[in-house]
Structure 1
Amino acid sequence: MNGAGVGAVGEGAGDAGEEGLTLRERKKWRTRQRISGEATRLFIERGFDRVTVAEIARAAEVSTMTVFNYFPRKEDLFLDRIPEARELLVRAVRERGTDETPLGALRRLGRDLVAARHPLAGVGEDFAHFWRTVAESPALRARGRAAVEEIEGLLAVELARAGGAGGPESRLAAALIVAGWRAVYAEVVGRQLDGDPVDAVAVEYAETLERTFDALERALPVLR
């Protein structure tokens, strides 16, 4: 998560694919994948602000209305993993182990995303193209900031429900967690834009994330 944006490199939100879906759901999933994939290609090739939704619809062979049925905002065509980010954070806290703290669950989520080179981890081969497109678009950067605020608010609710903090305490805890993760994420993005080797960035990312959560545990003993 960072101020530049929360999104995906490639197509679609979510990695579960078509497993467990009905025929109708598979068709919708494939349509969403096709729209997102064509949008991503065009945005990276030409820049977000120079591509229209109508052009994306033509490339994906659907109507403009269909595009908006799947993606209410143009920005969501590119930052299409925002819903997945929200879902993963909520699930990590709600479905944590009986002996696992909310912070421990979020730390584990971060570890897993980095280890799997998940798009939401923000580090991977060719990700620099994605982040450069975000950096060049004020609209995408604004949507990214809004997404971070949404995630912070959602996390505050989940922390309160988890019983580790409530009221102002849960909001403060969520703000600190998101700020810490965002700082690490921003460093990772910057290094990739500078052309640093992805493997080296990933290793340092994992180490810095651990130190960040160590600091958060000291700052937020109520969530330990």
Structure 2
Amino acid sequence: MTTEANSSASPSASPPGLRESKKQQTRQLISDVATGLFLSQGFEQTTIADIAAAARVAKKTVTNYFPRKEDLALDHQDAFIASLAGTLAGRRPGTPALAALRDAFVEAAEAANPVAGFSGPAFARMIADSPTLSTRLRDLHDLREAALADALADATGTPRGDVTPRTAAALLGAVHRTLFRRIQELTLAGEDNARISAVVTAEADTAFGLLEPSLADYAPA
């Protein structure tokens, strides 16, 4: 499972300089090599030294780009953390938070977006078999929920840390966690992405629908 959708550069963005381009290539090389090793021999069994040797770089180079080994496996975590708050920022005027997040999830599921939990069986198995990665994934869900709480507070003019946006974020975050876990379960059961998308899209309607009595009109844009 990777935790970020592929992003494209803005048309107005200037191309990176040679030094920056080289750094990006090195980072991607290390990430690709690490992923291959994790999938072939397991996350817990793979060391930073193994990755450095396979990528033909120094161990310090690996840790400069990826301070923790988990970062090598979940190397798109920043986009994952920001995804729900980003949905609120990009919604149409007047759209409540619940409707925006439900629509965004359905769109992500139909596209088999990695941020929603689509990762392929090998990666899903690697996560499931690693206590370290499973714990880190829970942390990322917590961080995503916290970012959503801040976004809801800002959208409603409520102080950050207030119980109302935090509670709303917890409820919305719980639905996303449940559907994410469901995608992982179906992936490990051998279902293909088309089947998984169909199942979780239908289940999302039920899951988000449970929140309508309390959140249907909450935090409109």
Give the TM interval when normalised to the shorter protein. Answer: 0.7 to 0.9
Task: Work out whether residues 48 and 59 of structure 2, in 8 Å CA contact, stay in contact via their aligned partners in 1.
Answer: yes
C-alpha contact 1:107 1:213 (8 A) present in aligned 2 = yes
Which of 84, 93, 114 aligns to 2:109? It is: 114
Residue from 126, 131, 151 that aligns with 1:133: 126
**Partner of residue 65, structure 1:** 60
Distance 2:173 2:26 in 1: 32
Aligned-residue offset at 1:165: 5.9
Kept in 2: contact 1:132–1:193 (CA 8 A): yes
Which residue of 1 is the match for residue 28 of structure 2? 33
Distance in 1 of aligned mates of 2:167 and 2:193: 33
- The answer for unaligned runs of 5 or more in structure 1 is 1-6
The unaligned stretches of length 5 or more in structure 2 are none
| Residue 100 in structure 1 maps to residue 95 in structure 2 | yes
In the alignment, which residue of structure 2 is the partner of 1:191?
A: 186
Structure 2: distance between partners of 1:218 and 1:64 = 53
1:51 aligns with 2:46: yes
Aligned pairs, number: 213
Q: Which residue of the partner structure matches residue 211 of structure 1? A: 206
Does the CA-based 8 Å contact 2:70-2:133 persist in structure 1? yes
CA distance in 2: counterparts of 1:75 and 1:143, whole angstroms = 7
Given the superposition, is the C-alpha separation of residues 109 and 217 from structure 1 closer, same or farther in structure 2, using an over 3 Å criterion?
same
TM-score by length of 1: 0.85
The residue aligned with 1:4 is none
Aligned equivalent of 2:2, options 5, 8, 25? 8
Question: Which SS does the other structure have where 1:150 is aligned?
Answer: helix
- Say whether 1:84 aligns with 2:89: no
Q: 4+ runs of 1 displaced by more than 3 Å?
A: 17-21
Alpha-carbon distance in 2 for matches of 1:148, 1:26: 31
Q: 1:103 to 1:31 in 2, by over 3 A?
A: farther
Looking at structure 2, the residues matched to 70 and 101 of structure 1 have their Cα atoms a distance apart, in angstroms, of: 39
Residue identity (%): 34
Partner residue, 1:147: 140
Answer with 1 or 2: which has the greater Rg. Answer: 2
Seen in structure 2, the aligned counterparts of structure 1 residues 77 and 54 have a Cα distance that, compared at 3 Å, is same
Rounded to whole Å, the distance in 2 between the matches of 1:185 and 1:171 is: 20
